[in-house]
Amino acid sequence: MNPPGAAWFSLIRSRMTTADLALCAEQDRWARELRWTVSRTGFGARQYRDPRFDLVQELEEVGRLFRA
């Protein structure tokens, strides 16, 4: 059996999620069109990441190996 107030908590949580997705929908769509990764980090907070930076990081590591 659910504790008292669990239904309200569930309802509020689902409404907050819906509001969060609506609030950031345009920015998320734009980032996904650019093939970036989008991570939700909190209400209205996102972390957008361009995967091309992985290649830059790998090239920097290779450059360090050849300098040594």
- In 1-68, DSSP assigns E strands to 37-42, 45-49
Residue 68 has pLDDT above 70, yes or no: no
For residue 18, give both structure tokens: 């819906």
pLDDT digits (tens, 9 = 90+) for 5-60: 888 899 999 999 999 999 999 999 999 999 999 999 989 899 999 988 878 777 77
Residue 63 has pLDDT above 90, yes or no: no
So what's the pLDDT on residue 55? 80
CA distance linking residue 59 with residue 68, whole number of Å: 15
CA distance linking residue 2 with residue 10, whole number of Å: 11
So what's the pLDDT on residue 1? 57
Domain boundaries, the chain: 7-67
So what's the pLDDT on residue 44? 86
